[in-house]
Amino acid sequence: MTVASNKRVGAYHQIILSVGDIVKNCRPGNFVAIKVGADSSRMILRRAFAISRTSESAQYGGTMELIVAPHGAGSRWLCSQAEGSEIDIVTPLGTSFGIPTQAINALLIGGGYGSAPLFGLADLLKSRGCKVDMLLGASVGSKIYAPMEGKRSVNSLKIYTEDGSMGETGRVTQNLLDIVRDRNIDVIYSCGPMAMLAAITEIVAETDVVHQCAVEESMACGIGICMTCVLPVKNEDGVTSMVRSCIDGPVMDGSHVRWDLVGKLPEVAP
Amino acid sequence: MSMPVDMSTTLGNAWFPTPIFTASGCASSGKELAQFFPLNSIGAVVTKSVMTKPRHGRPTPRMAETASGMLNSIGLQGPGIESFLANDVPWLLGQKARVIVSIAGETVEEYATLARKLRSISGISAVEVNISCPNVENRGLVFACDSDASRRVIDGVRKTIGGEIPIIAKLSPDVTDLPAIARGVVEAGADALALINTVLGMVISSDSMKPQLAGKTGGLSGPAIKPIAVRAIYQVHAALPKIPILGMGGVATGRDAFELILAGASGVSVGTASFGNPTALIDIQNELRELLAAKGFVTMQAAIGYAHREETL
């Protein structure tokens, strides 16, 4: 696969890959596993990135957009790849956001670059007649990812930063219950840090709102064989087990995740 | 045009069409890799070590990438032997895959119990007795670090299932005298040896200034440990030239697999390489076949232990 473009956007890089017909199988929430470094790289594991959005055009064929924060050695390598570079990818991987069959009121909540997959999701929800509101939060304004074209696919967009450098000062969760009630929200779709996902789950626990969240857990393989990316998740019978976030996620029902047990083990033996 | 290389191999009385196998713990029970290639196109699927009861394993973080390698601390998460034999093994056999079941226990008795359960179903090619998993709560439970404990485990398994299917003892490189441990388990009834399990390691985060893994220590795998695997296989093959070895440790290319075979391996398991490349087994198998042909080998088996020999091809 080829890098079609690579642009810096605030604290992130917007990377577009030419991937051909693979885009036909990609759904909002799916991720891509990318080999980083050259063949002799000492980084042996792929890096997982949420697919921000996909598109198909006569000129470029199928393309896939990624929003990458150049934090570690792997993401820095990816962000340094110039247009025309060849990239080895495995995709689409993981579960996708559930799309309602009826026109519902959806609230999309993104933390940091967790907003990336939400814009592609917003397009799809909008095309199904849903009302789409969006809340984005980050520590500072430069870490808010909200492209101009993305804003067109939402009915409203509210931004929060912890230092007040953009939008309202504070966090996306601060008036969440009021927003959910005032706007008759049916489904929350979220993506961002685990603490944010856990907080949203807790806030809407007593409501009828469905919370679909895309989790972020470090993974070695992305295809279900290494067992490193597990999360404590309870099933219909209330039994908690360690579930792979790469194949049973990244999109999960927030109310099924035992956020209190992340980094611990279920109390009861399996 | 030259003749195609005969890739077949044997471990004890079990025959395999190619010497490239999955590595236990790096392929789950095969279903996930079956999306990328037919499981009957490789030598065998070595399943993730299974215990008598279902297990959660260790808490997260369970993984830390290192230079040319990674640490894992999974802690034998699994469904337990009953569910495994009822669901996973029949599915694998239905795929016409050859299956080597890996078992792990906390006591000598647990290994014997697991081996007894394996007798209830037919079609399994061999049993791998994992006495060297580093991710158990008590490092004292790593049987393969103690010669007497290793013998007792293999002796118990032999009494239960010996002579029916080959018993492969999986050993740890974290010992002072590996040939002595190997000799002990062979005397106790192991038909073959699996070398090497991961090497115990640790990563300390410079952010938290604490061990990065929840389990503190983890097993190091990947290309970083390949020279240790080559050394271990070479040493043990020199000491016990008649005992087949299933080699593993950092194999990522056909050349790596060839190196382990030259050191004395009859078969080669591919583990961590599948994490970065889901078709690694097929790529490695093809590269190995070409490399053997290029070096003039008509059979893979003629290359086993070649590095020890005086002759030149």
What is the mean predicted confidence (pLDDT) over A121-141? 95
pLDDT reading at B1 higher than 60 = no
**pLDDT at residue A196 above 70?**
yes
Angle between helices B108-118 and B147-161 (to 10 degrees): 30
Residue to test with chain B: of A36, A44, A87, most B Cβ within 10 A: A44
The residues in A 196-225 lying below 8 A from B, measured between CB atoms, are 217-221, 223-225
Handedness of CA B88, B90, B91, B92 (dihedral sign): positive
Q: Is the sign of the CA dihedral A228, B108, B268, B33 positive or negative? A: negative
Neighboring chain B residues of A270 at a CB cutoff of 8 Å: 53-56, 80
B69/A263 touch (CB, cutoff 8 Å), yes or no: no
**Contact B167/A at CB under 8 A:** no
Instruction: Check B65 against A230: CB less than 8 A apart.
Output: no
| Chain A, nearest residue to B275 by Cα | A221
* Cα–Cα distance, A225 to B41 (Å, whole number): 18
Question: Is B133 annotated in the active site?
Answer: yes
Of A62-66, A101-105, B99-103, B132-136, where does mean pLDDT reach its minimum? B132-136
In total, the C-beta contacts within 8 angstroms joining chain A to chain B are 102
Give the separation between CA B221 and CA B196, rounded to whole angstroms.
10
- Answer for the pair B182, B170: CB distance below 8 angstroms, yes or no: no
**Would you give the DSSP letter of residue B9?**
E
A230/B67 CB distance under 8 A: no
Residues with Cβ within 8 Å of B225's Cβ and at least 6 positions away in sequence, in order, are: B69, B173, B196, B198, B199, B249, B250
Averaged pLDDT score across all residues of chain A? 94
How many CA atoms lie within 13 Å of B90's alpha carbon, on the beta-carbon side? Answer: 8
What global pTM score does this model have?
Answer: 0.95
AA letter at A28 = P
Q: Do B57 and A230 touch (CB under 8 A)?
A: yes
Residues A175-191 pLDDT 10s: 999 999 999 999 999 99
CA distance A10 to A130: 30
In the numeric block, the tokens 């929350």 are attached to A188
CA proximity to A191, closest of A128, A145, A140, A141: A145
| Band of residue B142 on the pLDDT scale cut at 50, 70, 90 | confident
d(C-alpha A37, C-alpha A95), whole Å: 27
Query: What stretch of H or E contains B113?
Result: helix B108-118
- Which one from B14, B133, B268, B270 is the annotated catalytic residue? B133
Nearest CA of chain A to the CA of B8: how many Å? 26
3-state helix, strand, coil in chain B (%, to 5): 35, 20, 40
Residues of chain B in contact with residue A269, where contact means CB-CB under 8 angstroms, are 53-56
Given B33, B35, B56, which is nearest A270 (Cβ)? Answer: B56
Residues B273-291, mean pLDDT to the nearest whole number: 98
Are B54 and A270 inside 8 Å of each other by CB? Answer: yes
Interface of A with B in 16-55 (CB under 8 A): 35, 42-46
pLDDT in tens, B34-85: 999 999 999 999 999 999 999 999 999 999 999 999 999 999 999 999 999 9
A64-94 burial, b at 16+ Cβ within 10 Å, e below that, comes to bbbbbbbeeebbebbbebeeeeebebbbbbb
Across the interface, whether the CB atoms of B275 and A227 are under 8 A apart is answered: no
| Cα–Cα distance for residue pair B109/B124, rounded to 1 Å | 21
Residue B181 above 80 pLDDT? yes
Cβ of residue A148 closer than 8 Å to a chain B Cβ: no
Please answer yes or no on whether B35 and A223 come within 8 Å at the CB atom.
yes
Asked if B56 is an interface residue toward chain A (Cβ–Cβ < 8 A), one would say: yes
Predicted confidence at residue A149, as pLDDT, reads: 72
**Cβ-based contacts of B74 with chain A (< 8 Å):** 226-228
Angle of helix B226-239 versus helix B178-188 axis, rounded to 10: 60
Which are the contacts of B263, defined by CB distance < 8 A and separation ≥ 6?
B230, B233, B234, B237, B247, B305, B307
In whole angstroms, what is the distance from residue A66 CA to residue A4 CA? 11
By CA distance, what is A45's nearest residue in B?
Answer: B276
Contact B49, B229 (CB under 8 A): no
Which one of B26, B62, B84 makes the best mutation probe of the A interface by having the most chain A beta carbons within 10 Å?
A: B62
Could you identify the residue written with the tokens 């081996």?
Answer: B115
Q: What's the average model confidence in pLDDT over B187-191?
A: 98
Please give the torsion angle defined by the CA atoms of residues B100, B101, B107 and B110, in that order, rounded to the nearest 10 degrees. Answer: -130
Question: Shortest CB distance from A225 goes to which of B32, B58, B59?
Answer: B32
Write down the pLDDT at residue B30: 96
Q: Are A150 and A125 in contact (CB under 8 A)?
A: no
pLDDT at residue A147 tops 80: no
Complex prediction ipTM: 0.94
Residue A143: per-residue pLDDT:
92
> Which of B59, B68, B223 has the CB atom closest to A263's CB atom?
B59
Distance from CA of B142 to the nearest CA of A (A): 21
Give B86's DSSP letter: I
Q: Give the 3-state secondary structure of A31-94.
A: EEEECCCCCCCCCCCCEEEECCEEEEECCCEEEEEEEECCCCHHHHHHHCCCCCCECCEEEEEC
For chain B, percent of residues with pLDDT exceeding 90: 92
Span A27-56, average pLDDT: 94
Contact B63 A230 (CB under 8 A): no
Please give the residue of chain A at the shortest CA–CA distance from B36: A223
Residues of A in contact with B274 (CB under 8 A): 221, 225
Q: Model confidence over A199-253: pLDDT tens digits?
A: 999 999 999 999 999 998 889 999 999 999 999 999 989 899 999 999 999 999 9
| Residue B202 bridge partners (DSSP) | B217
Q: Report helix, strand or coil for B307.
A: helix
Only one residue has tokens 């034998």, namely B76
Contact criterion met (CB < 8 Å) for A45 and B28: no
CA A77 vs CA B61, B223, B310: distances in Å? 24, 21, 47
Is pLDDT at B151 greater than 90 in this prediction? yes
Chain A interface includes B253 (CB < 8 A): no
Contact A263 B74 (CB under 8 A): no
The CA–CA distances, whole Å, from B7 to B12, B98, B281 equal: 16, 15, 14
Query: What is d(CA A244, CA B152) in angstroms, rounded to the nearest whole number?
Result: 35
Separation between Cα atoms, residue A254 and residue A210, nearest integer Å: 8
Report CB contact under 8 Å: A44, B60.
Answer: no
Residue (of B197, B130, B121) closest to B165 by Cα position: B121
Quickly list DSSP for chain A: -EEEEEEEETTEEEEEEE-GGGGGG--TT-EEEE--S-TT-S--S-EEEE--EEEEETTTEEEEEEEE---SHHHHHHHTPPTT-B--EEEEES------SS--EEEEEEEGGGGHHHHHHHHHHHHTT-EEEEEEEESSGGG----HHHHTT-SEEEEEETTSSSSEES-TTTTHHHHHHHTT--EEEEES-HHHHHHHHHHTTTSS-EEEEE-----SSSSSSS--SEEEEE-TTS-EEEEETTTS-SEEEGGGB-GGGTTS--SS--
- Encoded tokens for A94: 């993981």
CB-closest option in A44, A217, A218 to B223: A44
